[in-house]
């Protein structure tokens, strides 16, 4: 089963959110109905990027690595690389 690291963006808050899941459509839906307390104030959330992993633990490790950076610039650079690699 494929698992994902995903990056959401809230135009309301002008913020990014990084997460991981094994079902990206369900997780985006949960964020947008207010299921997650942390992201509730940012509804609507837009999916800006995703990266597939073979196991969830790999996606979670990458999520933690990105969150440790605590940098909007880093997230935007990461997104640019995702878009660049998907264009190839």
Asked whether the beta carbons of 58 and 1 are under 8 A apart, the reply is no
pLDDT for 59 equals: 98
Classify domain 3-87 at the CATH superfamily level. Answer: GIY-YIG endonuclease (3.40.1440.10)
pLDDT for 8 equals: 98
Question: Which strand (E) or helix (H) includes residue 20?
Answer: strand 15-21
**Is 79's pLDDT higher than 80?**
yes
* Tens-place pLDDT, residues 34-69: 998 999 999 999 999 999 999 999 999 999 999 999
| Nearest C-alpha neighbor of 8 from the set 32, 16, 21 | 16
- b/e 16-31 (16+ beta carbons within 10 angstroms → b): bbbbbbeebeebbeeb
Length reported for the chain:
88
Residue 22: C-alpha distances to residues 1, 60, 63 (Å): 7, 11, 13
pLDDT for 24 equals: 96
pLDDT for 84 equals: 79
Domain boundaries defined on the chain: 3-87
């Amino acid at each position: 089963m494929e698992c994902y690291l995903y990056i959401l963006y809230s135009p309301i808050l002008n913020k990014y959110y990084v997460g991981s899941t094994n079902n990206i459509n369900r997780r985006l839906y949960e964020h947008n109905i207010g299921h997650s307390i942390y992201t509730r104030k940012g509804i609507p959330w837009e999916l800006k990027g995703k990266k597939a992993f073979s196991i969830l633990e790999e996606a979670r490790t990458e999520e933690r690595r990105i969150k440790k950076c605590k940098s909007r610039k880093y997230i935007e650079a990461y997104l640019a690389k995702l878009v660049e690699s998907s264009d190839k």
